[in-house]
Amino acid sequence: MKLKSGATSCRYCGNNYAFYVIHSASGSTSCFYGFNGDDADNTHLWDGVRLKPKKTAYCGECQKSLGSVVED
């Protein structure tokens, strides 16, 4: 996913590492635990969850809106 504007950094704080996009999620999942109380293998955790990305990106540092995103 990229910014529609083509920007490679945040115009507010200069962050050039990462941005995030809010997603809506639906579905269900199950989390496995060992009988000793530790987490067990949960590599399947997201298999039953569907994510739908919103259209706006936010800076990973200052959380300000960076504009629309487009798929690669």
The pLDDT of residue 10? 98
The pLDDT of residue 26? 98
pLDDT for residue 4 is more than 90: yes
For 25-71, the pLDDT digits (tens) are 999 999 999 999 999 999 999 999 999 999 999 999 999 999 999 98
Q: How far apart are CA 55 and CA 65, in angstroms?
A: 11
pTM for the whole structure: 0.78
Q: How far apart are CA 7 and CA 30, in angstroms?
A: 38
User: Residue 38: which domain range?
Assistant: 2-70
- Name the domain count of the chain: 1
The gap from C-alpha 46 to its chain's centroid, in whole angstroms, comes to 13
Token digits of residue 70: 């487009």
Instruction: Please answer whether residues 65 and 13 qualify as being in contact, where contact means their C-beta atoms are separated by less than 8 angstroms.
Output: no
pLDDT for residue 72 is more than 90: no
